Structure 1
Amino acid sequence: MTACSNGEGVHDEGAPAGSASASAPTSSPGTSGETPTGAGQTDPAGWASGDSTGGTAGSSGTTGSTGSSGSTGSSDSTRSKEPASASAPCSSASVRMTATEVSRPLNHLLLTVTNTGSKNCNLIGYPAVRFGEAQSVPPAFEDSKPQAVVTLAPGESGYAGVLLSAADGSGSHGYTAKSLEVSFNDGAGAARPSLPAKGVYVDDSIGVSYWQSTMADALAW
């Protein structure tokens, strides 16, 4: 499905780390023309220069052992994107969150989390949202659970969709909420993104998606 934003929630894009000769970083898929920037890649030139140094030194016969200096090129590998298992959970201190009411699908809110830190972080599970004075958080759509944890490199964004109310008006106990608190399920703090001035209408049909790497996936439920 295609999600239309009302203009709120601009996403920052981070710059790739690594040397100028690094291969192009891999961007996470998104919609609406977003091209978040990933972390730097391993610099193959470092390895090439190391091999050349080793080969030249080896040809002298007496100093061939100094060819090991070529291994210094491997230090560039530390600039590559960390594996998800090595990343810390995203927290309210390392991200910026926005809440945008979209026109399609109807009665949906898009949560956007952008990594503003200097290291990768993981979006675990789904957001625990509380509108207004609500005493409980809505359930997640289990079918939206991704196959892998969403990992954000610096500058990259992740998304979750919130179904606010039933499109056919079948929901009950509806009310207008003007404030929102979103907690990370791993206990890493809470964010309070702004809602539209008029508030948003919520009823007991409310539900949220798991964190996703694209807007389209977040708004599919």
Structure 2
Amino acid sequence: MRNHRKHTVLAAAAVAALSLGLTACGGGDGTGTKDEGAAASSQTATAVKPDATSKTDAGSNTDGSDGSGSGTGGAAAQTAAKNKGGTSGGGSGTSAGGSGGSGKSSASAPACAYGDVRITVEKADETPTEHVVLTAKNISGRSCRLLQYPLIAFGPIQTAKDIPAVAKSKPPVQVVLAPGDPAYANVRVANGGVHEDNKVVTSFTVNLFAPDGPAEGSVDVKAPAGGLAVDEAVAKTGYWTPELRNGADEF
């Protein structure tokens, strides 16, 4: 009896000890295994949460780009916008520089003086000679305005007949000659053929215009070989133009 009781007490103590161990592992409410599993799941979700958040944020971008592309695209857009603005500004600058690149505008360039140009004459390709072409080349090294038309004297300046200009040959804008540039004027010297009023000249003079009238000084122009047969009664001159124009410069 005494031994049987002892074994019964030991068995009861073992069962109690086992029960206490199970209670401690389960948290005392019988849900220990589930809570432990939930905690593990929570830790796993926390570990992947940053990636999940990035994908969610990417989905919320209005342009449909991913999160990483959004930052790069924004910087690129800002850079493009700045570059676009810079290009426009440069274009304006360049354009402004171009308008002033010749040194002076037509309004501010001085009138060409007699020492600023070299004037030569050439017969027109016709027989007999009725027209010649004057060429005035800017040799001054700066821009200047060639005003009106050549003031031609086929003889002594004091006594020579004024050669009238043909209105239809006047260009729509003033002629501004950059250094080295030429301008032209067509001149009728006779009606052709032999006429008692024709006179042969081997040289003649050309004056220029200033803004307020004829300029001081004159250019001596040597006639082509053999001279020019000139009839002052019919002689006419065209305006200075950057190039000879059919129709307007034919008279």
Name the TM-score class by shorter chain: 0.5 to 0.7
1:103-122 to 2 correspondence within 5 Å? 103-104=125-126, 106-122=129-145
Of the three residues 169, 179, 183, the one matched with 1:158 is 183
> Taking every aligned residue pair, what percent have the same amino acid on both sides?
27
1:15-34 to 2 correspondence within 5 Å? none
> Would you say the 8 A contact 1:132–1:178 is kept in 2?
no
Letter in 2 for 1:220: E
Deviation at 1:189, TM superposition (A): 2.5
User: Structure 1 CA distance, aligned partners of 2:169 and 2:96?
Assistant: 39
1:91-106 to 2 correspondence within 5 Å? 91-104=113-126, 106=129
- SS of 2:107 mapped into structure 1: helix
RMSD: 2.9
Letter in 2 for 1:165: A
Q: Residues 154-181 of structure 1: CA distance to partner in whole angstroms, max 9, x if unpaired?
A: 1110011110001476x76221111210
> Would you say the 8 A contact 1:88–1:121 is kept in 2?
yes
The 1:73/1:184 distance shift into structure 2, 3 A limit, reads: closer
> Would you say the 8 A contact 1:176–1:200 is kept in 2?
yes
Letter in 2 for 1:173: D
User: Structure 2 CA distance, aligned partners of 1:195 and 1:92?
Assistant: 18
Does 1:189 pair with 2:217?
Answer: yes
Letter in 1 for 2:152: V
Deviation at 1:79, TM superposition (A): 2.9
Paired residue for 1:84? 106
TM-score normalised over the length of structure 1: 0.60
User: Structure 2 CA distance, aligned partners of 1:160 and 1:89?
Assistant: 17
Q: How many residues matched? A: 154
User: Structure 1 CA distance, aligned partners of 2:94 and 2:106?
Assistant: 24
- SS of 1:93 mapped into structure 2: helix
User: Structure 2 CA distance, aligned partners of 1:160 and 1:128?
Assistant: 11
User: Structure 2 CA distance, aligned partners of 1:100 and 1:141?
Assistant: 19
Specify every segment of 5 or more residues in structure 1 that has no aligned partner in the other structure, as ranges.
Answer: 1-50, 56-71
Paired residue for 2:243? 214
Deviation at 1:215, TM superposition (A): 2.9
- SS of 2:187 mapped into structure 1: strand
User: Structure 2 CA distance, aligned partners of 1:200 and 1:219?
Assistant: 20
User: Structure 1 CA distance, aligned partners of 2:220 and 2:185?
Assistant: 15
